[in-house]
């Protein structure tokens, strides 16, 4: 058997904008085009993927990363043979399992039981093989009491549990994962990660698309970085993550003063760990150094800088301001650097982003606000688990063994 699990040569995918083209990815698309009214105007073209060539060896774990719209999901759909490439070829050697969008391969009107057999057949298992593994699939999914309920009544988490369980019991040589585990709860995410580790130990190949750099760093020693449909990097994970963070580092400035342009803009932002290394992954309890470069468009008197940390779903976690922390700056004029060193971060393991702000004394309103880079926090125990809220702090616990001691303690407090 060849040592290559995947060999892609010149993979490209073109879509037509504004009209349905003559090339169809599925029978459904072909039938839809028969009954759809054609647009008489010439449709534009959009290349979601352009000339992607790479090889993945058996037993290798590779992350596919890039900003939204980079072509990551299109690439996985081509590899899983859901989408036909416009140009190029992909050679897959081995049994392939794919877990893409939530509900892919499921029929909403069918029950969970019926969908196990349907999805199993889509993944390449025959009915006898699915029947043999059915009890194990249901047990792994942890939704046994809902297995005869139509899946249209399932939550997204239940969809993922069942779909992943079927894909897991396919015993794939190659597993493609596209961000779907983000909707599962902590315990099931851990179960899936443990399963992926067992696949690694067995020598299977795993291709992961994710915005969670902590997961990518944990699972993959190599990443393929896509930008606007093209592969711009294929190599070590740390280096690829640096490109990803650089591309998403700073948004355009916004402001709320009625001026034609903001008095100051942040032109660069870098984040360092306690060892002075620029990174996007931090450990719980580690200090962060946030370094912001700015440029003024006019003199700014008595500015106050702010750095907010928000979860990726826009939940505000905390904010540091230079004014509250007693840094006084009389005037800014030109270019410079402002730096914040945080206390040990107590955030739970999650994906976060920075917001950068500057206010000017006497003007009241926000002068400039920009979205900064994203980062991840990892914790060996407290992974992404909503029950812990936003941050994790140790508490002081007591156990009072009998009622008399409890009442005595309560009286003493009162």
**60 and 40: one domain?**
yes
Answer yes or no: is 380 within a domain.
yes
Q: Is residue 408 part of a domain?
A: no
Same domain, 162 and 271: no
Rounded Cα–Cα distance for residues 390 and 208 (Å): 26
Whether 401 is covered by a domain: the verdict is: no
Which residue range is the domain that position 167 belongs to?
4-245
Where among 198, 230, 245 does a domain terminate?
Answer: 245
340 φ, ψ to 5°? -120, 130
Structural domain total, the chain: 2
Residue 404 lies in a domain: no
181 and 274 together in one domain: no
266 inside domain:
yes
Rounded to the nearest angstrom, the gap between the alpha carbon of residue 279 and the centroid of all alpha carbons in its chain is: 17
**44 and 11 housed in the same domain:** yes
303-311 and 350-360 strand pairing:
antiparallel
CA–CA separation, 109 and 103 (whole Å):
12
- Rounded CA separation 69/168 (Å): 28
Alpha-carbon torsion angle 242, 264, 318, 352, nearest 10: -20
**Is the pTM above the cut of 0.85?**
no
- Asked whether residue 141 falls in the same domain as residue 278, the answer is no
**Cα–Cα dist 138/276, whole Å:** 48
Q: What is the CATH number of the domain that holds 278?
A: 2.70.50.60
Q: For 167-322, where are the E strands, in sequence order?
A: 174-178, 205-209, 222-227, 230-236, 264-272, 281-283, 289-296, 300-301, 303-311, 316-321
Tens place of pLDDT per residue across the chain (414 aa) = 568 999 999 999 998 865 444 454 544 454 444 444 444 344 578 899 999 999 999 989 999 998 777 899 899 889 988 889 999 999 999 888 777 665 566 888 899 999 899 888 877 788 999 999 999 999 988 888 899 999 889 887 788 888 888 877 877 888 888 765 555 566 777 777 777 778 878 888 989 888 777 678 778 889 999 998 999 999 999 888 878 877 766 766 555 555 567 888 898 889 999 999 988 889 989 999 999 999 999 999 999 999 999 887 678 899 999 999 999 999 999 999 999 999 999 888 877 889 899 988 876 667 788 878 888 888 765 554 445 567 777 777 776 766 565 556 555 554
Looking up residue 219, the CATH number of its domain turns out to be 3.40.50.300
Could you tell me if 240 and 340 lie in one domain? no
The answer to whether residues 172 and 262 belong to one domain is no
Do 220 and 301 share a structural domain?
no
Domain identity same for 190 and 296:
no
């Amino acid at each position: 058997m060849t040592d290559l699990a995947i060999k892609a040569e010149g993979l490209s995918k073109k879509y037509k904008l504004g009209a349905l083209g003559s090339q169809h990815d599925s029978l459904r698309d072909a039938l839809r085009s028969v009954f759809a009214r054609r647009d008489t105007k010439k449709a534009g073209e959009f290349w979601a993927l352009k000339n992607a060539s790479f090889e993945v060896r058996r037993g290798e774990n590779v992350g596919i990363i890039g900003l939204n719209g980079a072509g990551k999901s299109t690439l996985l759909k081509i590899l899983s043979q859901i989408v036909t490439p416009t140009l190029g070829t992909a050679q897959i050697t081995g049994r392939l399992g794919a877990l893409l969008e939530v509900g892919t391969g499921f029929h909403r009107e069918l029950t969970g039981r019926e969908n196990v057999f349907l999805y199993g057949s889509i993944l390449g298992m025959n009915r006898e093989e699915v029947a043999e593994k059915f009890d194990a699939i249901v047990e792994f999914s942890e939704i046994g009491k809902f297995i005869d309920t139509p899946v249209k009544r399932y939550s997204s988490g239940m969809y993922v549990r069942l779909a992943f369980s079927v894909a897991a019991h396919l015993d794939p040589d190659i597993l493609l994962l596209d961000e779907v585990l983000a909707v599962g709860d902590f315990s099931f995410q851990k179960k899936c990660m443990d399963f992926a580790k067992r696949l690694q130990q067995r020598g299977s190949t795993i291709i992961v698309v994710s915005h969670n750099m902590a997961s990518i760093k944990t699972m993959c020693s190599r990443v393929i970085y896509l930008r606007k449909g093209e592969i711009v990097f294929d190599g070590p994970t740390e280096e690829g993550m640096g490109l990803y963070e650089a591309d998403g580092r700073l948004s355009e400035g916004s402001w709320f003063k009625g001026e034609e342009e903001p008095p100051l803009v942040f032109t660069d932002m870098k984040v360092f760990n306690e060892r002075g290394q620029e990174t996007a992954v931090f450990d719980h309890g580690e200090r962060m150094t946030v370094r912001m470069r700015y440029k003024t468009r006019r003199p700014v008197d008595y500015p106050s800088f702010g750095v907010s940390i928000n979860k990726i779903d826009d939940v505000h976690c905390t904010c540091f301001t230079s004014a509250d922390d007693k840094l006084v700056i009389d005037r800014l004029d030109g270019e410079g650097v402002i730096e914040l060193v945080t206390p040990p971060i107590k955030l739970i393991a999650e994906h976060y982003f920075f917001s950068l702000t500057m206010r000017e004394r006497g003007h009241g309103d926000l002068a400039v606000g920009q979205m900064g880079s994203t980062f991840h926090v990892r914790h060996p125990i407290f992974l992404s688990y909503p029950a812990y809220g936003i941050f994790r702090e140790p508490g002081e616990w007591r156990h009072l063994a009998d009622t008399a001691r409890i009442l005595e303690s309560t009286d003493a407090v009162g």
